[in-house]
Amino acid sequence: MDSTTKTIDSIFKAQSLAVVGASADPLKFGYMTMSSLLQGGYRGRLYPVNPKAEAIMGLKAYPSVSEVPDEIDCVVIIVPAKFVAGILRESARKGAKGAIIQSAGFREAGRADLEQEIVRVARQLGLRLMGPNIQGINYLPNQMCAMFFPVIDLKGPLAVVTQSGTVTTALGEWAAAEGLGISAAVNLGNQADICEADYIEYFAQDADTGAIAMYLESIKNGPRFLESLRRAAFVKPVAVLKAGRTSTGARSAASHTGAMAGSHPVFEAACRQFGAAVAEDLPTLYDKAKALATLTPTGNRVVVISTSGGAATLAADEGETLGLKFPGLPADLKAALANLNLPPLAHLNNPIDLVSLDAEHFRQAARLVDRYAIADVILISFGDPVAGGDVVVKDLAAAIRGRLAVSYMGGGSEETRSRFSIQRAGIPVFPSPERAVRGIAVAVWRAEYCRRKEAVR
């Protein structure tokens, strides 16, 4: 573990935090961050710092960092940009090794001088900086939600690293609502010090993380970013969405974080070359990261078992376009399926349309398919509500040799309940057949990438 990775680890696992700019006013970010830390269940020592308050949210407040009675591991800063350098100096004297700078008003606002000053001060004092101009960070293994919002407390395999608070919120809330959960959520902001490559290096080694989802507007150091992807490729999958692929988007990125955008096609090609999955939009980023965190196929053969002929057809069309193979069923397997007392309109080929809402039919059909070893991935496609479908899917995941993925749509409250239950068990669930096969395809691509690269190492 290099020095930067160690410092990130010490920040994420800080046992004492000073929150400078903490507030009792619910309309202020200092209140929101304090509230998030408390709601998130942070168990370390928490020191609100505000010269105008005696107590904030039941905790004694201190006029300055210098007057906090104990040493601190990390400082969270939410004050005007011009005061940040001085707070860093105080924090270093109190033992802090890192600072989470939520404050804006630096390079993105035309004040590159203020940003250069805090970097210079941090280097002089041995401090490392997250931000500035960020919503904050949330590291669930330490229950440390040091951000304005949201408070995501459902722990899971996805690490979210973005240059947008809104994107961080969306990805985290999608993961929590679906039962996937996150290991961490990190805003990059201006990346004055710790940058996207550093977080790739960290989460590649983090035992609580299964995959990394990244939304980027700029790359601080292109060669180092690609090298971090290359090193992570064999141990931790990465999915990337890069903004600024048009001239208008590039201008928007520059106004947001002071970023300069490079050639988008070159960026995407380089990411793929070094093992990262590239996404075209935000839902695709989420789907790809979810699949990479939960699915490890050994090949590209897919068998679809569906309640709906239409849903099955959509899966086959999209999957074949993406290079997935849909093998035909051996005659013996068809005969065995025909003995399951299925409805008379059942279509016994691949995709298999059971025309049934009986969860036991899915259990029996999937067990037969697995017995004949013709599928690397079985896609269970619930195009209708299937009572008990979640129980059957979880049982199958433990019983069959192949991998499982699920598409669930059109099922109302039964779908909502089952999707959470299935996803919480570590089985990827997607809201449409097309999104499911795209997830399967990216997991197949990464597995093949690793096999190919391993062969020439």
Strand spans (E) along 86-125:
98-101
- Which pLDDT score, from 0 to 100, does residue 255 have? 47
216/268 Cα distance (integer angstroms): 12
- Torsion sign across C-alpha atoms 212, 217, 222, 224: negative
DSSP 327: P
Q: What is the pLDDT of residues 84-133, one digit of tens each?
A: 999 999 999 999 999 999 999 999 999 999 999 999 999 999 999 999 99
Q: What are the tokens at 347?
A: 């279509």
- All residue ranges of the chain with pLDDT < 70 are 245-262, 456-457
**What is the reported pTM?**
0.93
Place of tokens 């075209």: 280
| CATH of span 296-454 | 3.40.50.261
Give yes or no for a contact between 396 and 361, defined as CB atoms under 8 angstroms apart. Answer: no
pLDDT score for 453: 78
Residue-wise pLDDT tens digits, 259-297: 444 577 888 999 999 999 999 999 999 999 999 999 999
1-134 has CATH 2.40.50.40 classification:
no
Distance of CA 369 to the CA centre of its chain: 32
pLDDT at 82: 97
Distance, CA of 212 to CA of 199 (rounded, Å): 9
Query: What is the rounded distance in angstroms from the CA atom of residue 393 to the CA atom of residue 324?
Result: 22
Topology given in CATH for the domain delimited by 152-294: Rossmann fold (3.40.50)
Structure tokens at 406: 């699920």
Phi, psi of 238 (to 5 degrees): -130, 135
Given this model, what pLDDT does residue 454 score?
Answer: 74
The sign of the dihedral angle between the CA atoms of 318, 286, 263, 251 is positive
pLDDT of residue 203: 98
Structure-block tokens of residue 231: 């090193």
With a pLDDT cut of 70, the percent of the chain lying above it is: 95
What's the confidence (pLDDT) of residue 166?
94
- Beta-bridge partners for 303: 378
Q: Do domains 152-294 and 296-454 have the same CATH topology?
A: yes
Domain ranges of the chain: 1-134, 152-294, 296-454
